Structure 1
Amino acid sequence: MTSKSIHLDEFALGVCYYPEHWDERFWADDFRRMKEMKFSVIRIAEFAWSLFEPEEGVFQFDLFDRVLNLADEYELKVILCTPTATPPAWLTSKYPEVLNVTLEGVTYQHGQRRHYNYSSPIYRVLCARITREMAVHYKNHPAVIGWQIDNEFNCETNVFYAAADHAAFRIWLQQKYGSLEQLNFAWGTVFWNQIYSDWEQVHLPRPTPSNSPNPHQALDEKRFISDNAISFAKVQADILREIASNHWVTTNGVFGHLDSHRMTDELLDFISYDSYPLFALGNAPSAEVNPMQDRGWSRNLSNVRSISPHFCVMEQQSGPGGWVNRIALPSPRPGQMRLWAYQSIAHGADMVLFFRWRTATIGTEIYWHGINDYHNQPNRRVAEATQIGHELNKIGRHIVGSSFIAEVALIRDYDNEWDGELDCWHGPMERHSLSGWYKALQHRHIPVNILNMTPHTTLEELVNYKLLVYPHPTILSDECAKLLEQYVHQGGQVVFGCRTGYKNIHGHCNMRVFPGPVANLCGVTVEDFTLITGFYKAPPIRWLDQKVTTLATADLFNDIIHVESPTVEIIAEYAAEYYAGKPALTRNKFGQGHAWYYGAAFNDAVADEIISQIGLESCVNQLCSVPLEIETVIRQSGDQQLIFLLNYSAQSQKIQLKLEVTEMLSGEQLEGDAIIEAFGVMIIKR
């Protein structure tokens, strides 16, 4: 995985720039000010296809040649984007089959972005041609360092129902299953008489009377969309590798129905992310927002880090966000822009580009504000960005290449995520539990990684962690269960929640006792169960350790657990409902480790108590005492640790340092009590 990281000697800070939006007289002054702010890189051209190819087969590079030459004069490096997220009007007019179609059969028209489909053969040909022309033209330009493929795959829409998509889906299914007999088995088409006798009868999901497609077909739909997007990206990646082999290749965004891990492993040098923590705050009206909201954005960054341990943030929040008609986000408060930039850096970003240099005066995103306002005069965002630039110019070389340190991992996988979109009997549990665990770990200042489980995951990857939390692996293979057994047997701890292990890879319910493949590992079976809905209320749980006073409820779903092995210890019981007194949480000794099973969805109170029982502690306890409002992150290189302290509160916070330390941003020596200002950042070197 390390080979799929960005590799830099110096931290790279920059900005997204749209020279085609501005009179050319602005360019030199913009670049001069960028250099004064210690920016070193710009991203350009992701929506500029018509400027490169104003009519089919006619290519013009003059405008961007002037931009790149001027950037080189100012010693700014450039990330070039293939402009395939917004096909030109001449293209969609001449080849309407490239347009995407809704489930109901309505064709998206020209006028926004991402209105194309990945399956259209002619669109792939035309995308390949513009990519090749750009690569040939700019392969040796001294300012260019890398390429971004397209822009935000699967953003805006992540489902595709054009005629070309239905045809491509059939081909994908033929390659996957080989025969209609195998397809009919995998989709369980004997139910409700859906049996197919000819491939032409097979489609992507289409409207149904109850808006409820075949669930096994719907799971394969998501797998197909992901594979199809990856194959579309591969067309461009292969051209760039062939022609511009001295440049790196990435793409930006982590969106639904796309296996970004596999895409990165197969096509990219590293993943890039677009980080907008303001989405987590929304339109919060109160003066004091919940500090876990934008702080919880760190979970998204943790997922990005699971793809590339060192990554690029291609778009970093700089101002209020808004489209004319649907997105309306308030202004970041003073300090938040800087806080969120360091949040990205703490979690693994070695390159950060703010979105955008200057707020657009035209188009849908005239309220998606950049560093500069329309008037181009100094403002507090410019001042904040300048502060960040000067700080990173001083300490950035100490950050790049250092690794995020964590002893806990939350496990996720794409099959359960995609299956859970339709299946309300397990999907909501996953979201609830990940939120509960992340909150509990954050409040204890225990760093956590996200671990993506695949058939290729190895024991060597798992043993890096003292604790694995796999909240609700409904789809769970015997092979994965054996791997987790090996991990626990050698001394690891794994935690499961309700709805574990009752489906196979097709989404069929197993004809075996719950929790299926991990019943032996957990030493328990499920004798009864119920959704917590309607007149059922989440019951309290009673901890058998009488010293525990934490109040907790068993949320969303309740498995009533039956102990099968003498090595199982009951940790908590249900304290209400017809199953009062039955086990709610168990711990089984298995080899040198333990497997935990909780019969509900996790909240932060339950997760917090499990953390206590396991004995996990914050790795900064020996250095300092930190209040709940502050996130702590450690990046380490060799023997040197950088401890990021991020204050998400609108009030200043006091920390207590137990040793004398160096604060990197200010250069000050600190000991005893220290104050982190509202939305402030400290980086301590140890």
Structure 2
Amino acid sequence: MTSKLLGSDSFQLGVCYYPEQWNESLWEDDFRRMKELGFSIVRVAEFAWTLFEPEDGTFSFELFDRALDAAHRYGLKVIMSTPTATPPAWLTHRYPEVLNARQDGVLYRHGQRRHYNYSSPVYRFYCERIARMMAEHYRNHPSIVGWQIDNELNCETSEFHADADHIAFRQWAKNKYHTLDQLNEAWGTVFWSQTYTDWEQVFLSRPTPSNSPNPHQLLDEKRFISDNAISFARLQADTIRRYAPNHWITTNGIFGRLDNHALNEGLLNFFSYDSYPQFSSLEDPNNESSLRDRKWSLNLSEARSISPQFCVMEQQSGPGGWVNRMDMPAPRPGQMRLWTYQSIAHGADMLLYFRWRTATMGTEIYWHGINDYHNRPNRRVREAARIGEELGKVGGLITGKNFRARFAFLEDYDNKWDAEYDVWVTPLRWKSRDSWQKALQERHIPIDVVYMREGTTLEQLQRYPVLVYSHATILTEERASLLDAYVRSGGTLIMGARTGYKDQRGQCRMIPFPGLAADWCGISVEDFTLCNPSYPAASVQWNDEGAAEISTALFNEVLNLESDTAEIMATYTSAYYSGEAALTRNRHGNGWGWYFGSAFTEDVVHGILDRINVSSPADGWVELPKQVEIAIRGDIVFLLNYSHEPVRLNFLESTLNLLDNRSLVGSVELEPYGVLLVQRAFT
């Protein structure tokens, strides 16, 4: 996405608004105040199906016609949404086959949201019809610039077990495998006599005595769920483009079991993300070293991997929570502004706060917006006004510019989905991801996330001198060939335990670990063990003279050198494998393959970074404390303080803060949750 999609070179700042939830006498004042805050765009209608179609086949647009006309009078642009995340009661009552079901077949009922299934022909008919009627009606409305499809696909649940889903999955499997022999081979059904002899025997996973279904079938189920969600979205996208061809199309959220890259490339003009940093901070509230909301930057990096410039359709602006869960406290003064610039720093060219005013009824009465129930000024309103004023000055310098990073995490959907069910691998992935993110943040090294996909090229990988592919359990021949070429061409590739031993079916290869990664790693795995409190992880000693002893985590592999160019970088110093290789480095062509036989800890990551000599883009012109993140878009540098205390930065040369035109040189104090933006040329 670039700003030109919105017909403007300025940054688009806005808010989610629900005119149907408020007395019409409030609308004019609401839109006036939005404009005064510097807002230019609003999102509407994602939950308003009953307003548009109060009865089957009876359509009413009057309420939103008046609301959109009022928004237009104040110069506000509008994102219209298809309301298919909340089907009306008359629809779910008359056609219960549109409802989703638990694994045991019990239907989810009307009363919340996202209680439908994507597979129902009846639901698809009604979704296509409401999208068509809305697109036809609003195709020429002067306020509307684009559409949001549905709302947060696969949110609330990413499991589907309705009758229509079983039928759709069976057809999906037929299309993929063509014969039952091929399906049985892919799913390894000879194990435990699971072999299928008729297509009517094939279902999505159903309850089993120990809740332990076939893992290879589960991997395919996740692929099906993703394909099915994309098919559901395509129905709406195609309809809108047919009837409202001058509007752009997006959808919002990153949720499980959905290939968002395929969704974006196949259907959308750009991707949208919903940014609630306190989801991250709640994971570790008592650990000061966790960086808390700073961890959210990695989620934003993932959104950027889908769409280099994206929209934040929902930006947290206040305390969050439903009446029965997600009890997030109020953002402290300055955090709303910090999180806004965090999103922009990582690629947002448009950002809307959730929401204009906190709901006075329903499940989300504690999911606070910018305005409180009483509608009187508060500090969130004042903070929004400051942001609006600042972005009015500098937003045009930022939009359309790409994020700069020379370090990347590799990811792929097969490994992500397979690991959901794999108790040996899931903890390793989370531990390593967290350790790398923390260490790189503390060293002020920006990172990208790059997804390995069918169309990934060597040129795309070569943009990064260093890649981390921590635990690529599934490694296909095609990806292995690409990674081999990357290392040979001069790249540094770092991998961890449990690499490369599964194929694309999730079945284990009958070759030594690390499977297809062996050539560039230059090692084999002689022995291995899962670690737990009664079988603790080992300690490790770097081979450098005087280096400190450090610990592994969760899993230990004993490594053997298999290449003349491989060398041991660290050895185990405890457990029965004391003295054996734990971390190796191999020269492969012009590059290096590193392999660690464990999950990565922060100490191990720092040690590796010391030895591969990775520099920060801050080097040479500003010295930053670890509480500050550096992020770069084009020639705009964002310096973000995540601490609740002021911190000091040391500018080694005179630099101009774009937000207030203040010169920065020498020691400079940055306020709690403070933000600096500077312009700097990079080669």
2:362 is the alignment partner of 1:368: no
User: Is contact 2:290–2:438 with CA below 8 Å preserved after alignment?
Assistant: no
Secondary structure of the residue aligned to 1:422 is: coil
The CA deviation at 1:239 is 0.8
Q: Which residue of 2 aligns with 1:544?
A: 543
Identity %: 58
The CA deviation at 1:282 is 2.6
User: Is contact 2:641–2:675 with CA below 8 Å preserved after alignment?
Assistant: yes
Match of 2:605 among 604, 607, 632: 607
Runs of 4+ in structure 1 deviating by more than 3 angstroms, as ranges, are 1-8, 283-286, 288-291
Rate the CA distance shift 1:462–1:538 in 2: closer, same or farther, 3 A: same
Secondary structure of the residue aligned to 1:483 is: helix
Q: What TM-score does the superposition give when structure 1 sets the normalisation length? A: 0.97
Q: 1:552 is matched by which residue type in structure 2?
A: I
Rate the CA distance shift 1:7–1:273 in 2: closer, same or farther, 3 A: farther
Q: Which residue of 2 aligns with 1:143?
A: 143
Match of 1:595 among 593, 598, 604: 593
Secondary structure of the residue aligned to 2:594 is: strand
Q: Deviations over 1:324-346 (max 9, x none)?
A: 11221111100111110110000
Q: What TM-score does the superposition give when structure 2 sets the normalisation length? A: 0.98
User: Is contact 1:542–1:574 with CA below 8 Å preserved after alignment?
Assistant: yes
User: Is contact 1:4–1:308 with CA below 8 Å preserved after alignment?
Assistant: no
Inter-partner Cα distance in structure 2 for 1:408 and 1:290: 22
Matches within 5 A, 1:240-279: 240-279=240-279
Q: Which residue of 2 aligns with 1:359?
A: 358
2:474 is the alignment partner of 1:475: yes
Q: Which residue of 1 aligns with 2:492?
A: 493
Q: Deviations over 1:215-241 (max 9, x none)?
A: 001111111000000000000011111
User: Is contact 2:6–2:145 with CA below 8 Å preserved after alignment?
Assistant: no
The CA deviation at 1:281 is 2.2
User: Is contact 1:230–1:263 with CA below 8 Å preserved after alignment?
Assistant: yes
Inter-partner Cα distance in structure 2 for 1:159 and 1:210: 18
Q: Deviations over 1:90-110 (max 9, x none)?
A: 000111000010012211100
2:677 is the alignment partner of 1:679: no
User: Is contact 1:6–1:270 with CA below 8 Å preserved after alignment?
Assistant: no
Inter-partner Cα distance in structure 1 for 2:304 and 2:298: 10
Inter-partner Cα distance in structure 1 for 2:59 and 2:294: 46
Secondary structure of the residue aligned to 1:561 is: strand
Q: Deviations over 1:133-176 (max 9, x none)?
A: 00011111110010000000010111000000000000000000
Secondary structure of the residue aligned to 2:478 is: helix
Q: Which residue of 1 aligns with 2:312?
A: 313
Q: 1:667 is matched by which residue type in structure 2?
A: N
The CA deviation at 1:547 is 4.3
The CA deviation at 1:290 is 4.9
Secondary structure of the residue aligned to 1:231 is: helix
Q: What are structure 1's unaligned runs of at least 5 residues? A: none
Aligned residues: 680
The CA deviation at 1:57 is 0.6
User: Is contact 1:3–1:269 with CA below 8 Å preserved after alignment?
Assistant: no
The CA deviation at 1:679 is 0.8
Q: Deviations over 1:23-52 (max 9, x none)?
A: 001000001000110000000000000100
Inter-partner Cα distance in structure 1 for 2:7 and 2:78: 16
Inter-partner Cα distance in structure 2 for 1:329 and 1:417: 27
Q: Which residue of 2 aligns with 1:564?
A: 562
Matches within 5 A, 1:105-116: 105-116=105-116
Q: Deviations over 1:532-559 (max 9, x none)?
A: 124221111110012433x421111111
Secondary structure of the residue aligned to 1:327 is: strand
The CA deviation at 1:285 is 6.8
CA RMSD of aligned residues (A): 1.5
Inter-partner Cα distance in structure 2 for 1:443 and 1:199: 54
Inter-partner Cα distance in structure 1 for 2:89 and 2:453: 41
Q: Which residue of 2 aligns with 1:157?
A: 157
Q: Which residue of 1 aligns with 2:581?
A: 583
Q: Which residue of 1 aligns with 2:637?
A: 643
Inter-partner Cα distance in structure 2 for 1:258 and 1:209: 28
User: Is contact 1:101–1:161 with CA below 8 Å preserved after alignment?
Assistant: yes
Q: What are structure 2's unaligned runs of at least 5 residues? A: none
User: Is contact 2:406–2:465 with CA below 8 Å preserved after alignment?
Assistant: yes
Secondary structure of the residue aligned to 1:683 is: strand
Q: Which residue of 2 aligns with 1:661?
A: 655
Q: 2:332 is matched by which residue type in structure 1?
A: R
Inter-partner Cα distance in structure 1 for 2:605 and 2:205: 38
User: Is contact 2:42–2:352 with CA below 8 Å preserved after alignment?
Assistant: yes
The CA deviation at 1:685 is 1.6
Inter-partner Cα distance in structure 2 for 1:221 and 1:2: 35
User: Is contact 1:570–1:585 with CA below 8 Å preserved after alignment?
Assistant: yes
The CA deviation at 1:379 is 0.3
Inter-partner Cα distance in structure 2 for 1:184 and 1:3: 50
User: Is contact 2:237–2:249 with CA below 8 Å preserved after alignment?
Assistant: yes
Q: Deviations over 1:361-408 (max 9, x none)?
A: 010000100000000000000000110000000110001111110000
The CA deviation at 1:580 is 0.9
Q: 1:543 is matched by which residue type in structure 2?
A: W
Inter-partner Cα distance in structure 1 for 2:453 and 2:516: 16
Secondary structure of the residue aligned to 1:404 is: coil
Inter-partner Cα distance in structure 2 for 1:289 and 1:342: 22
User: Is contact 1:252–1:273 with CA below 8 Å preserved after alignment?
Assistant: yes
User: Is contact 1:28–1:70 with CA below 8 Å preserved after alignment?
Assistant: yes
Inter-partner Cα distance in structure 2 for 1:616 and 1:115: 48
2:36 is the alignment partner of 1:36: yes
Rate the CA distance shift 1:199–1:127 in 2: closer, same or farther, 3 A: same
Q: Which residue of 1 aligns with 2:184?
A: 184
The CA deviation at 1:530 is 0.6
Inter-partner Cα distance in structure 1 for 2:47 and 2:2: 31
Q: 2:359 is matched by which residue type in structure 1?
A: A
